[in-house]
Amino acid sequence: MPPAMTPYASEAEIAEIGEGLIDRGLPAAKWTHGAHFAAVVWILKRRPDLEIVRDMPGLIRVYNEARGGQNTDESGYHETITLASIAATRAFLDAQSSDAPLHETVNALLATPLGRPDWIHTYWSRERLFCVAARRGWVDPDLRALPY
């Protein structure tokens, strides 16, 4: 894992993130890069009632606002990053044992290049990724096609 990232120690930590996103009770300080991936893993593995591509955008938008943030053309929810992260997480999970504890699965995911906050810049230039169109909707990568 990247040096600044602390591994998750239990499934309860992962559940706290997923449930805290949904009920908007997760402290903003815990909504980290790793927590975004932990929430995706938790939803995919523990909430089959949710359709992640459909539901995650709204969950993040509402959570951001509940924590005092805004979803604007410059900050808050970002559609391209969210959809790319979901696709990357699904691909990672497809290659893993389905019976591993969630915290071990998330830790393994975060030990890959996805654990680095700059992983997405392998595929998108800063200019393209942070344009208004990419924040509002899907924008294809301009540096390299996603492998998933």
Sign of CA dihedral 128, 130, 134, 140: positive
Query: Which amino acid is located at 134 in the chain?
Result: A
The length of the chain is 148
The reply to whether 73 falls in a domain is yes
CA nearest neighbour of 42 among 117, 94, 103: 103
pTM of the shown model: 0.94
Residue 89 lies in domain: 11-136
User: Measured between alpha carbons, how far is 11 from 46 in angstroms, rounded to an integer?
Assistant: 11
Q: What whole-number distance in Å separates Cα of residue 6 and Cα of residue 97? A: 22
Which one-letter DSSP state was computed for residue 6? P
Domains in the chain: how many in total?
1
Residue 38 within any structural domain of the chain: yes
Per-residue pLDDT of the chain (148 residues; tens, 9 = 90+): 444 467 999 999 999 999 999 999 999 999 999 999 999 999 999 999 999 999 999 999 999 999 999 999 999 999 999 999 999 999 999 998 778 999 999 999 999 999 999 999 999 999 999 999 999 999 999 999 999 8
Is 3 contained in some domain? no
